[in-house]
Amino acid sequence: MALGRRRTDPAPIDGVDTILADLDGVVYTGPGAIPHAVEALERARASARVGYITNNASRTDATVAEHLTGLGLTVVPSDVVTSPQAAVRLLADLVPAASVILVVGGDGLVAEVEKAGFRVTRSADDAPAAVVQGFAPHVGWEQLAEAAFALQGEHAERPWVATNTDWTIPVARGIAPGNGTLVSAVHTAVGRLPRVAGKPETPMFTLAVERFGATHALVVGDRLDTDILGANRAGLASAHVLTGVDRVKQLLAAVPDQRPTFVLEHLGQLFEPYPAAETAERRDVVTTRVAGAEIERRGDTLTVTRAGDRRIDLVRAGAAAIWGSGIPIYGLRVPAELYSDA
């Protein structure tokens, strides 16, 4: 788009009938709500269905709904789609009904396995038909060892489903190891990989779209390699919010299949006009402008020529300039003022 007079830009929420919001790093960090999140999601309910999708397998949908209600959100358990729910759907296609399932994980996973009519065991000695693995803070060596015992030797083909493979999880004290780290420990012992139900794989998104009857869904997340990649794989629009795991530096370096439709500082910006990126090329200079922010690229060098009035517009301009260059970020000279989180 050539630089010139800008039209009135729509907001990210315009035309959306369903919001599928991640939880950790989007709605809350630890027990507390992230600023603007509760107000924005309650406001969104006036025009869209709001659902919550989480890879965290340690809690039941009812427990998550209770937590969200305590933060001031209007939520019932059916508004929450969890990776254990998606995992159980996968299990139903892999093993007979009422099978014994070895569960590595917490109450959220156990509840969904039992709800689906399967029987739960914690021991490989009980000849389980499959292993399902999800995150819980108490999961340790003994549980991981039982999974490994159930998946090796003559049982090397036994189905193994992981709720998700997030390497990390944001908690109140910082970033901690996630289920992907625990799955990797079992993988190292048995030499194979599980089927994955949660983000970025599509089963969870398919389940959510079906449950909420979505036709124009917007996925809101804080992780490029799960939320945004999963939305892209499922063919859904996405908004990356800079309140969780992946911040500006990771966003600018995003590979093509992990680039979001929208970039937001916080959820309140769902309702703000989203300025389009405008570009113009003259001789050896490519100029990218978003609202009052402007960046020039000469060859492999980016220069901030106007920072603009809002930090988020500069970030959006930087993303557009880098992604539109066709050059991987490691091949570009990027000024620190662009990727700093300050």
Cα Dmax for the chain: 71
Among residues 9, 17, 22, 246, the one annotated as catalytic is 22
Q: How far is CA 87 from CA 13, 110, 164, 180, 191, in A?
A: 30, 11, 9, 15, 21
Q: Report yes or no: 337 and 307 within 8 Å, Cβ to Cβ.
A: yes
| Tokens linked to 164 | 């998700």
**Is 22 annotated as catalytic?**
yes
Among residues 9, 24, 225, 313, the one annotated as catalytic is 24
Quote the DSSP letter at residue 24: B
**Is 24 annotated as catalytic?**
yes
Cα 231 from Cα 209, distance rounded (Å): 11
In DSSP notation, 27-60 reads TEETTEEPTTHHHHHHHHTTTSEEEEEE---SS-
Q: Report yes or no: 265 and 241 within 8 Å, Cβ to Cβ.
A: yes
| Tokens linked to 194 | 């599980």
- Tokens 């970039």 — which residue? 263
For residue 156, how many C-alpha atoms fall within 13 Å in the half-sphere facing its CB? 6
- Residues designated catalytic: 22, 24
